[in-house]
Structure 1
């Protein structure tokens, strides 16, 4: 549980007048910081963001101070259950919303804090959007009655839904948001490469893994199994692993025992990521259940082709939807064959890069902010 934090007194909203739009979210992330800056540019009223926690325990990123929107962290209780699951109880959300008098709310995902905010909005007749990255395949509401009740209670008063994918639309539809009331706001990386991607001859590594080093979500042990199986076929690949987590020591020991050259970077800042993604010829993403997977987007914009499992939103809707990556089931032999085939096929990698260049303009900060503008405009005019 986190300690309660003192709620700062916010300065006046500034040049833009009118009741603000307020976003209630778990924690600011680098990409949501960019999104909210772009959204604040487009709104005709102030934008305030209330976070349930300063930073999720499994995240090491540093987020810049906002320029165009107001941000504060609510006091309350935080339970970081694991790398991807967090529970927030912030009763102060009610008093802050009462003080801010929002014209509209955006509630990010499902927690007791969002339920309290939804209850306040319904009592004061404030329209709100419910936003989720979730998809039916990873939704705990499909297996747990308390999670299902929480989702239904929050969604019941929402004017519309918003999310990054068709999977998110399907999830919200299960709880009552009609498809015509869903707006798409894609996810995107918080950074862009400074220049064109380097050629393969300038990339010292064969394969890259980037993410939390666990098995239950990210498939880090499966990744290691694939690398060892490639070695058993006579190909000792040059490996780079960016990120940290409970399996790091195991991965390092297994690869070292097989005499496989591997660079383990640990957690990296956003500024270090462009060089990391551009250092490998292939990115492996053996996800066991990511709602999206921004690391895949980061690899693609760096000119690094991707081999992914089907268990993520980005694999289904970007890689398969736009034919810009390879998607294979989590079978060791299939991944060994896929990895070696892609490394040996220059033409195929070039084709995937070209397909990614055509698809990625649909997944940008500007497109994401426009989705919010249209959704908020509709409920503010209703």
Structure 2
């Protein structure tokens, strides 16, 4: 292995997600990296033992509290939300004294990171994924904090084009202050031609939805559109994989609509998902609102055609326009479902997708370039940090 960069990097997040593991691991191979976490969230119970996959990263849990609440729209629980208040972030940053900090989202942890950066005179990047759509209903307090604090941040890492659009148009950030990467998954898990099929459903084709079973994801809109298509005589199966507060209501809705051939499985661990994709013919992503939609990346790497809501942050960046629809327009949704079940969709392409290695290269070059320009280097030993 090549010698590590003579800098220390701290990454602040609430928890480890499967999608971030390959990024953290590759960064840890190139620069001594600390991962500071605030704790788990109740809707991520299939994500386990992820720390064991990062032996080259020093992982630390910070102290504080996590509050859970539900955003409600039209009287329904639209989305679970978590508020992490963790002064321990600042304490750990003072202990580690990193040369650079990347902090996810615009919340308490990023305020702690910016305070450390101001005191220690170290560069801080905010990793952000919100879009003009996802941020339009945020409360007044959040909007004020973003306007008066985060608007002045000069280093950003955005998930993709729709995130950059929000930062520039919604927050007034200069485009030159933004490193635009792309939200990515570990493609190596999905491109193996020998991945087995986990279940065989009949009749075909099989339309797959995978994700949280909450109103925001639009599964109810999918079931209603699918019922109309079946009523026109089209035959197909539906596979739903996920867990969430809407599960019982979705089962009831499926029964009420007289939908045929619907299979619902609980959320699966990440290692089981490649076989799930191999068991389907089309991924349907009907979200009412999403900053990205990494299941779309997974499906494309798996060779599945995808139809996705125009309200998904990823849609316009990685899908052909003819595979994008408005889930609130039931007639348009039904027309695209008919194309899906009759094999008339635009074929899948991975050309627009960034592999993980490319994303890591972009982040590493951004951080190391900024530190080199500042002429800073840590006296820290280049030995790989151990989990503490």
Q: Same fold (TM over 0.5)?
A: yes
1:87 aligned counterpart, secondary structure: strand
Aligned pairs for 1:17-96 (under 5 A) are: 18-43=6-31, 46-53=32-39, 55-60=40-45, 61-62=47-48, 63-65=50-52, 66-82=54-70, 83=79, 85-96=81-92
Q: CA deviation at 1:64?
A: 4.1
Q: Conserved in 1, the CA contact under 8 Å of 2:234 and 2:341? A: no
Aligned to 1:4: none
Q: CA deviation at 1:343?
A: 1.9
Aligned to 1:329: 326
Q: CA deviation at 1:246?
A: 2.0
Q: Deviations over 1:227-255 (max 9, x none)?
A: 21122212343110000112212222333
Q: CA deviation at 1:149?
A: 2.7
Q: Any stretches of 5+ residues in structure 2 without a counterpart?
A: 71-78, 375-388
Q: CA deviation at 1:78?
A: 0.6
- How many angstroms apart in 2 are the aligned matches of 1:107 and 1:271? 27
Aligned to 1:239: 238
- How many angstroms apart in 2 are the aligned matches of 1:249 and 1:227? 18
| 1:118 matched to 2:114 | yes
Q: CA deviation at 1:159?
A: 3.6
Aligned pairs for 1:1-382 (under 5 A) are: 18-43=6-31, 46-53=32-39, 55-60=40-45, 61-62=47-48, 63-65=50-52, 66-82=54-70, 83=79, 85-139=81-135, 143-155=138-150, 158-173=153-168, 174-190=170-186, 191-195=189-193, 204=202, 205=204, 206-215=206-215, 217-256=216-255, 258=258, 260-320=260-320, 326-330=323-327, 331-345=329-343, 348-349=344-345, 351-353=346-348, 356-360=349-353, 363-380=354-371, 381-382=373-374
Higher relative contact order (CA closer than 8 Å, sequence separation 6+):
2
Q: TM-score, normalised by structure 2?
A: 0.83
- How many angstroms apart in 1 are the aligned matches of 2:259 and 2:135? 40
Q: Conserved in 1, the CA contact under 8 Å of 2:29 and 2:56? A: yes
Q: CA deviation at 1:378?
A: 3.2
Q: CA deviation at 1:164?
A: 1.7
Deviates more, 1:367-376 or 1:183-192: 183-192
1:289 aligned counterpart, secondary structure: coil
- How many angstroms apart in 2 are the aligned matches of 1:309 and 1:379? 37
Q: Across the two proteins, how many residue pairs are aligned to each other?
A: 351
Q: Conserved in 2, the CA contact under 8 Å of 1:227 and 1:237? A: no
Calculate the aligned-residue CA RMSD, in Å: 2.4
Q: Using a 3 Å threshold, how does the CA distance of structure 1 residues 114 and 79 change in structure 2: closer, same or farther?
A: same
Q: CA deviation at 1:259?
A: 5.2
- Structure having the larger proportion of residues in helix: 1
Q: Conserved in 2, the CA contact under 8 Å of 1:299 and 1:305? A: yes
Q: Using a 3 Å threshold, how does the CA distance of structure 1 residues 94 and 157 change in structure 2: closer, same or farther?
A: farther
2:112 aligned counterpart, secondary structure: helix
- How many angstroms apart in 2 are the aligned matches of 1:157 and 1:126? 16
2:288 aligned counterpart, secondary structure: coil
Q: Using a 3 Å threshold, how does the CA distance of structure 1 residues 38 and 165 change in structure 2: closer, same or farther?
A: same
Q: TM-score, normalised by structure 1?
A: 0.85
Deviates more, 1:217-226 or 1:190-199: 190-199
- How many angstroms apart in 2 are the aligned matches of 1:27 and 1:34? 14
2:20 aligned counterpart, secondary structure: helix
- How many angstroms apart in 2 are the aligned matches of 1:150 and 1:33? 30
- How many angstroms apart in 1 are the aligned matches of 2:241 and 2:85? 32
Q: CA deviation at 1:143?
A: 4.6
- How many angstroms apart in 2 are the aligned matches of 1:263 and 1:85? 28
Q: Deviations over 1:126-166 (max 9, x none)?
A: 111111011122115x7533112322455356341111212
- How many angstroms apart in 2 are the aligned matches of 1:272 and 1:27? 21
Q: Using a 3 Å threshold, how does the CA distance of structure 1 residues 307 and 250 change in structure 2: closer, same or farther?
A: same
